[in-house]
Structure 1
Amino acid sequence: MNNLNDPPRWNIAPEPQGGAADGGKWNYALLVPMLGLAAFRWIWTRDSQKEIYDVKTRHDRDVASVTHDLELKYRDALRETQRSAAGLELALEKERHRVQGYRQALTSQSQQLMDERRQLESQRQALEQEKTRQLESGAAAELLRQALAREEETSQRAQAAVRDLEEQLVERQGAFCSLLLPRDRRYEMEKNLLLRAARQPELQELEGLEGDLRDIFKNDRYCADVLNMNKRKNGSLMWLYLRYWELQVTLQKHQRAERALKGEPVTPPPK
């Protein structure tokens, strides 16, 4: 179809009756650009597909490499985490066994102290009964009263020393339970307690006092509530030892009086 707006030369005129050469020229003129365009598109499409294939191949290879590296790092991190978790679990189990051992030792020590306390109480009652019997026997009763009176002052000094020791243990346990006092302050208190037990004559007669104090320092970890303001509510094992020492003082008083009545030396031999 002819475009009337175009110049005449641009329109394809009907093929003349007498000659086909001019129409064939126009057909060839259209065929060559079309073939060139088709060839260009084929070449461009092939190169583009090859480039796309190369880019996709490199991308897949990079992704596979990164995925492999990440998997290796993940496995290494997982093994390290499992190894750390196993080590922590083993350490926790050891601590659990050690705490259980401490509890069993403390329970056994407390039971032993209770047994010794009952034994001392039984001995004290027997001595009280003996004292009562002696008091009812005339001259022997008077001698016993005199012997007990002579030992009363020594016994009172020993009881006062035990009460003073009790106050210092209360302060030491308060320092142990305090969140503000430094640990060095508690160590200094413990050192002073051990020095006093070794040097004070009234405390030297208590058998095994130094070992008892070290046992308290090591195993008495009981503390009252955080808001507690009464220091005497702290501690558990130390109170058993204090009652035990008081019974020892009473027992030693009667033993010295008994030795005095028998004519035996009252002062114990040096350790």
Structure 2
Amino acid sequence: MNNLNDPPGWNIQPDRRGREAGAGDGNQWNYALLVPMLGLAAFRWIWTRDSQKEIQKVKVQYDKDVSTIKSEMEARYRDTLTESRRAVATLELELEKERQRVKGYQQALVSHSQHLIQLRKQLEQEREALNDEKQKLVKSGAAGAALRDALERETSWYQGAMATMRELEGLLVERQNAYCSLIQPREHRLEMEKNLLLKVVKDPVAAELDLESDLKDIFKRDKHCADLMNMDKRKNGSLMWVYLKYWQLQITLQKHKKAEEAIFTGRIQSDKK
């Protein structure tokens, strides 16, 4: 009869041949291998559980650190963005102030140029009137001869004055070129302006025409420069050219006034006597 409590091959059978040395059956090793395997499985399970806990702990700490760094970076970004916007707003305000200042300079320059143009027109009208008067005097015989003599006497003064104007024109061209230059130092331009002012104070013709205040006005207001690729120095400047035309008209008018004064005061007649 079959033993239900011991199905064939289920239970470990005792070694019927005994435990002599060299027995071929290895059932006695099953228990010996089972214990280390169970220990290894238990160690692996414990190690895996502890590793999972450690991994989870590191992961939580990592997420916490990342969240902290992210918050700090966002706060720094907001601060930087706020500072940048504030700086941009300040720069825009300063730029608008400079634009308004330049606009004011431009309006003042235009107004001043228009005033000088009106003066030049007035001088031209006076010169035409003097020419008409001169023609009348020339046609009147003795008075015409006296006027010719007076004008001839003022020719030397006129030529000297025009030579002074040409010299001033060259110096002003160089000064404006220094103002527009990106490489010439500011101190060099200031030295040129100082020398120009000294010249018009010491020169008799320039002093007679009172050019000092006009030069200071040019230094203060004439900021016109040609484009960066310009090689012609005479294309720089705007107000200075208006003043130069004005000064030349002044010299011509002054020549006729001097001749007229000489006739009216009797210097020409007395010289002839």
TM-score under structure 2 length normalisation: 0.76
- Unpaired runs of 5+ in structure 2? 1-8, 13-22, 268-273
User: Is the counterpart of residue 215 in structure 1 residue 217 in structure 2?
Assistant: yes
Alpha-carbon shift at residue 125 of structure 1 (Å): 0.5
Deviation at 1:236, TM superposition (A): 2.1
Could you tell me how far 1:229 is from its partner in structure 2?
Answer: 4.2
Query: In the alignment, what sits opposite 1:234?
Result: 236
The within-5 A match list for 1:57-96 is 57-96=60-99
Aligned ranges for residues 152-231 of structure 1 at < 5 Å? 152-207=155-210, 209-231=211-233
1:243 corresponds to: 245
Q: Of residues 6, 22, 25 in structure 2, which corresponds to 1:8?
A: 25
Q: Determine helix, strand or coil for the equivalent of 2:209.
A: coil
RMSD value, Cα: 3.3
Are 1:147 and 2:147 an aligned pair? Answer: no
Match of residue 105 from structure 1: 108
Query: Could you give the per-residue CA deviations for residues 91-128 of structure 1, whole angstroms, max 9, x where no partner exists?
Result: 21122222222221221121111111111111111111
CA drift of 1:264 comes to 8.8
| Cα drift, residue 33 of structure 1 | 9.3
Q: 1:259 aligns with which of 255, 258, 261?
A: 261
> What is the CA deviation profile of residues 196-253 of structure 1, one whole-angstrom value per residue up to 9, with x for unaligned ones?
111111111113x112112222332333454544433332221111110010011112
What is the letter of the counterpart of residue 101 of structure 2? Answer: R
Alpha carbons of structure 1 residues 170 and 38: separation in structure 2 relative to 1, 3 Å: closer
Q: 1:42 to 1:226 in 2, by over 3 A?
A: closer
Q: CA deviation at 1:54?
A: 2.5
- Identify if the C-alpha distance between structure 1 residues 193 and 58 changes in structure 2 by more than 3 Å, giving closer, same or farther: same
Task: Point out where structure 1 has 5 or more consecutive residues left out of the alignment.
Answer: 12-25, 266-271
The answer to which of 179-188 and 111-120 deviates more is 179-188
SS in 2 for 1:216: helix
Shift of 1:55: 2.5
**Amino acid across the alignment from 1:80:** E
Moved more, 216-225 or 107-116: 216-225
Match of 1:17 in 2: none
Amino acid in the other structure paired with 1:149 = E
**Structure 1 residues 130 and 50 mapped into 2: Cα distance closer, same or farther (>3 Å)?**
same
Query: Could you tell me how far apart the structure 1 residues matched to 2:151 and 2:181 are?
Result: 43
Identity %: 57
The structural deviation recorded for 1:194 is 0.3
Aligned length: 247
